[in-house]
Chains A and B, each alone.
Chain A
Amino acid sequence: MELNNLSDEQLVFVIREGGQEKYREIIRRYQTKLTHYLRKFIRNPDELEDILQEVFIKAFKNLNSFEVDKSFSSWIYRIAHNEAINSLKKKENKNIDLEDVEYKIFDEKFDINEKIDQAILRQNLSVALSKLKLEYKEVLVLFYFEGLSYTEISDVLKIPTSTVGTIIKRSKEILKAELLKNNAYEK
């Protein structure tokens, strides 16, 4: 069977049954996604590579603890999340780096009533995000920038689905208030 046709969960089943070389396919499927996710928390490329490597190694070692009836994506994001949090705890600088496309996503999805100058948005968004509590920040990143659903975020962060919705609503309010405040100040 073609590896491309297998779901993540089927692939995990094959790897656990002895096809360890097939783990390469898992790395290929998730390397870009996890790099994208981890970059929100880890700026240094060398450190990012080390952590990503650690994520894949931990995921492989613990593959037998994964329940194949659940989502592999949530499971591996959970490992990446834990590694990112451990790394963040060691640091003082907890700023988030956003890419061009993410500013656009933010601008579209946040639907801020008052039009904010793009230059100011760019300047302030990263700072405003960084000011958020970590529990708010991680939910926003997973929802807006990684495109995970409420259920997937609930599985990654191990919190109730309803709490995910509450956090998103609350953090949007905080961010809007912060951005509008800065916007008025800049003008």
Chain B
Amino acid sequence: MKNNFDDKDLEQKVMGQIESGRVKLRSRYIFWAQNLGLGSAIVLSFILGILLLSLIVLSFKLTGNLNYLAFGKLGWLAFLESFPYGLIIFAVIAVLLVGYFIKKSQWFYKLKFGYLAIGLISLLIILGAGIAFVEIPEWIASKMMFFGRGPQMVNSFILPKSCNCGRGLMGKIIEIDNKFIIVQESCGSRRAIFIDEPERFLPPLDFLNKFIVAVGEPEPEIFKIHQFKISDRQPRPDVNKNFGCPLCQKNEINFN
């Protein structure tokens, strides 16, 4: 093939730079370190993703907000209000980081990125859920109690609006009146539930000390009930026991 430049000339130029020592082989340790760094970044962001996803599952377990879903549209709104959005955002960032590092490493380019992404997200969800069910996040959170800001930090992510959460309410019935029932939430705060149709909603007196899950309209000082469920079992585990409550730690109540 004819080139418009001299082949020998190019060879001489390149070899001249190599032989003069101006161009040197990069050490293989540099490449090892790069691969090690990239591998570590993938593993760490993957572990972070698993941990955050397990905290999301843990959040559902602890807040019991899945109970709201039984109440239809209003229940969904209550559920969405109590959703751990902070955790979701961080989990998405962690997943994106894993994807970015994997793409940058080019180790898996033979696989279609779509399949890789689906596999990765599925694996993260399965591992995250698995870890949540073996209660590793609870253990980590309890260890964080040793550090001053641990409980607040964990609570602000895991238990968003764990008390006074908009359209949803969960707690123990401690008082029943003609038009009101007083509910003590797991964090210790008390809320009055206003009942405008007592014949339809007012629970009998033997519901005292039982647990209620309700959806309705939050108003200053009171909660106007729309739908509710009464149960002998508390709808959410006693979070105080594990983490303390960000809003009212000094007023802890053990339901059991």
Enumerate chain A interface residues (CB-CB to B < 8 A).
16, 20-21, 23-24, 27-28, 31-32, 35-36, 45-46, 48-49, 52-53, 56-57, 60-65, 154, 158-163
Contact = CB atoms under 8 A, between A and B. Distances in A.
Contacts of B18: 20, 23, 60
B255 to A, nearest CB: 55
Interface in B1-24: 1, 3-5, 7, 10-11, 13-15, 17-19, 23-24
A21 B19 CA distance: 7
Contacts of B19: 20-21
Interface string B180-224: 000000000000000000000000000000000000000000000
Contacts of A61: 23-26
A154 B109 contact: yes
24 contacts: A16-B25, A20-B18, A23-B15, A23-B18, A28-B11, A31-B10, A31-B11, A45-B5, A48-B4, A48-B5, A52-B10, A53-B10, A53-B13, A53-B14, A56-B14, A57-B14, A62-B31, A63-B25, A64-B27, A64-B30, A64-B31, A154-B109, A158-B106, A158-B109
A160 B13 contact: no
B10 A27 contact: yes
Interface string B117-146: 000000000000000000000000000000
B110 interface: yes
B12 to A, nearest CB: 9
Contact of A160 (B3, B7, B110): B110
B112 A60 contact: no
B231 to A, nearest CB: 52
Interface string B39-63: 0000000000000000000000000
A65 B31 contact: yes
Contacts of A23: 14-15, 18
